[in-house]
Amino acid sequence: MTLINPLQFTAHEFADRMYAVCGRGRAQALALYQCFIREGQVRDTLPQFRNAPHLYEQMRQTIKVDIDPVTLIQSTERATKFLMKTHDGYLVESVIMSMQSRKSLCVSSQIGCRMACAFCHTGQMGFKRHLGPEEIVQQMFAARHVLKSSIQNVVFMGMGEPFDNFESVMQAVRVLADPLSFGIGLRRITISTSGDIQGIKTMTRDERPLPNLAVSLGAPTDAIRSKIMPRRRAEPLHDLYTAMYDYCRTKKRQILVSYVLLSDVNDSLECAEQLAIYLKGLDVRVNVIPYNASPESAFACPSQEAITAFVSRLRHHALPVFVRHERGSSIQAACGQLGG
């Protein structure tokens, strides 16, 4: 028997698949989908099925959702981390971050990560597997219906390199953005890549509306970058620049450039100067992320003076810069700390 997981599909894709199974009831399938996404469950009755109880039963039996229970929830004032177990026993980590009245959900796209960035706990755990679109969307479903959080923004900044799992991530984005589903506007969804040039080029060629793009640079020179982001060694910063330039120009969109600040590695004023020069000609905002420590880490967070000096030097070049103050580091929920 064909089973359909609504979290894998947009409303219309779901209705098409239900129609293929049941031979009728496209409009009813849409109502069923919306009820499930909005209420978190399939009700016993729906007005749209008043005259079609058999169809309702058939559709309910065709829906397959293994809503795994949330296994762990840890909260601080500004961050809530939650873990869900996959059918094959892995733990998916997600974080809800609160900023004033807004809430952002940080989702994972993989279990672990292939990129092995030296400063990142997820990178150090290695790669286990990709998440399917339904497993990505399920993080939103749990945030809404288990943690009862109303989410305004979604960022792909949890475990994994999103462009390494391109199709599943893009399908999850379409589901999250679907007005008949969670309805998170594309401008409120951000995909963060560690600089996958092919992925940026694919986004540039895509003619459909796109989510925001963030690029984690990590260093202003290839020499430093290849030390701390070893898998990016084959992709020189020069080529990354060209890909970002084409993206900004073709899409007329700004890129959020993230820069993890590591004491005595990439936090000198010379690095700030090189970074500012590198970014010339691009439409960017810079997000400086002071290093969040993980157990047994070889790196350290720069002093407040060093952070301020680095940021001032960038601002001196008229770059829009903000410093991302850690949220949830005490529960290992900040950037780069997932995968415990």
Binding site residues, ligand SAH, CB under 6 A = 119-120, 157, 160-161, 192-194, 216, 218, 258, 260, 289, 291-292, 294, 335-336
Report CA-CA distances (Å) from 285 to 215, 242, 257, 319. 10, 17, 6, 7
80 binds, among ligand SAH, ligand SF4, none (CB under 5 to 8 A by kind): none
**Considering only 2-10, 69-77, 108-116, 167-175, which stretch makes contact with ligand SF4 by CB under 6 A?**
108-116
How far apart are CB 225 and ligand SF4 at their closest, in Å? 11
The amino acid at 319 = L
How far apart are CB 263 and ligand SAH at their closest, in Å? 12
Report CA-CA distances (Å) from 256 to 31, 125, 325. 37, 26, 16
Q: Is 301 annotated in the active site?
A: no
Q: Which two tokens stand for residue 215?
A: 């690029």
- Strand-pair category, 212-216 with 189-193: parallel
Total number of residues that touch ligand SF4 (CB under 6 A): 11
How far apart are CB 318 and ligand SF4 at their closest, in Å? 28
Is the Cβ–Cβ distance between 11 and 181 less than 8 Å? yes
State whether the Cα torsion 292-98-321-210 is positive or negative: positive
Nearer to ligand SF4, 124 or 138 (CB): 124
Nearer to ligand SF4, 1 or 298 (CB): 298
Helix locations, 236-287, DSSP H: 237-251, 269-279
Secondary structure, 3-state, 299-338: CCCCCHHHHHHHHHHHHHCCCCEEECCCCCHHHCCCCCCC
Q: Which parts of 170-209 interact with ligand SF4 (CB under 6 A)?
A: 194
Q: Residue with the closest Cβ to ligand SF4?
A: 123
Distance CA 22, CA 29 (A): 10
Nearer to ligand SAH, 284 or 289 (CB): 289
Nearer to ligand SF4, 115 or 331 (CB): 115
How far apart are CB 202 and ligand SAH at their closest, in Å? 16
How far apart are CB 329 and ligand SAH at their closest, in Å? 9
Distance CA 165, CA 108 (A): 11
Q: Which two tokens stand for residue 239?
A: 């080529």
289 binds, among ligand SF4, ligand SAH, none (CB under 5 to 8 A by kind): ligand SAH
Nearer to ligand SF4, 116 or 271 (CB): 116
- Please pick, from the candidates 83, 84, 96, 120, the single residue that binds ligand SF4 as defined by CB under 6 A: 120
Identify the helix (H) or strand (E) that includes residue 92.
Answer: strand 91-99
Task: For the chain, report the end-to-end CA distance as a whole number of angstroms.
Answer: 38
How far apart are CB 260 and ligand SAH at their closest, in Å? 4
Distance CA 324, CA 285 (A): 12
Residue 161 within binding range of ligand SF4, rule CB under 6 A: yes
**Which one of the listed residues 106, 117, 120, 335 is annotated catalytic?**
335
Q: Catalytic residue positions?
A: 335
Q: Give contact residues for ligand SF4 (rule: CB under 6 A).
A: 113, 115-117, 120, 122-123, 160-161, 194, 336
